[in-house]
Amino acid sequence: MPFGLEVQAVAENKQTVQIKTASETYFVKPDALQNAEDLKSLSIGPGQFNSYVSPASAGSYEYLLSFLGKEESVLKQRMQTLSSVKNDQGDTIERLTTEKTDYVIQNGHANTIVFRGIMPISPSTLGLTEQNVWMNEKRTKFAVKGENNLFVIDNEQHTLTISVIK
C-alpha cells in the first residue's frame, strides 16, 4: 500500500488489524498503522506548497484547490479537460492532464487533490521539525496535518496529496 493511503480499520486484536481500502482488505500489525487523528495539527495550509508544484499547476494552483471538497458534478461542469480513471484502490480519479493534477472522488466529492511532478520538499523547507511529521524509514515521504487538510509528500513519486480532514 502506498504511504499516506487512507484506510478503514474494520477489526483488530493485539496481534493484527484488518483494514479495508475501497477495493481490498489487508491484515497488518498494529504498529504498522498510524492514525491521522494522532498527528498534531499545525498552522500549515495549502498555500505553503505553491512554489513546489509543477509549472503546469503553479499558475492555477489556487483555482485548482478551490474544487477540493466540492461535488464531482461541479468539477466536471467547470473543467472540460478531465478524464476519468480508476486507481488501484478502486477510487475514481478525475485527471486534469494539462495541469498534472488528479482529483480523487470519494462519496461523490473531490476530497483529495494530487499534484504530480512536484519539486522535492522536506519538513525543514516548510519550517517544520521532524517531530511534527510522519516520515517513512527512507525519509523520502512524509505527512503533516494542517487545521483543515492532511498533506502527504512523496519525493519518490514527486507527488503532493492534499486531503480534506473530515
- The band of 141, judged by pLDDT with boundaries at 50, 70 and 90, is very high
- The band of 22, judged by pLDDT with boundaries at 50, 70 and 90, is low
Give the mean pLDDT of 13-21: 78
pLDDT attached to residue 157: 94
Q: Which CATH number fits domain 46-164: 3.40.33.10, 3.40.50.1820, 1.20.58.220, 3.40.50.10160?
A: 3.40.33.10
Encode pLDDT of 51-105 as tens digits. 999 988 888 999 999 999 999 999 999 988 888 888 777 788 888 877 889 999 9
Q: What dihedral angle (degrees, nearest 10) is formed by the CA atoms of 133, 138, 141, 146?
A: 0
- For the chain, which residues make up each domain, given as ranges? 8-35, 46-164
Cell of 103: 482529483
Using the predicted structure, report yes or no on whether residue 131 has a pLDDT greater than 80. Answer: yes
Give whichever of 31-40, 49-58, 155-164 has the largest mean pLDDT. 155-164
Cell of 130: 521532524
> Among 4, 23, 5, which Cα is nearest to 134's?
4
Cα angle 44-48-50, degrees, rounded to a multiple of 5: 150
pLDDT attached to residue 15: 79
**Please, are residues 39 and 143 in contact by the beta-carbon 8 Å criterion?**
yes
pLDDT attached to residue 9: 75
Using the predicted structure, report yes or no on whether residue 39 has a pLDDT greater than 90. Answer: no
Give whichever of 28-32, 45-49, 87-91 has the largest mean pLDDT. 45-49
What is the average pLDDT score of the chain? Answer: 87
> Among 56, 62, 59, 121, which Cα is nearest to 95's?
56
- The pTM of the full predicted model, rounded to 2 decimals, is 0.83
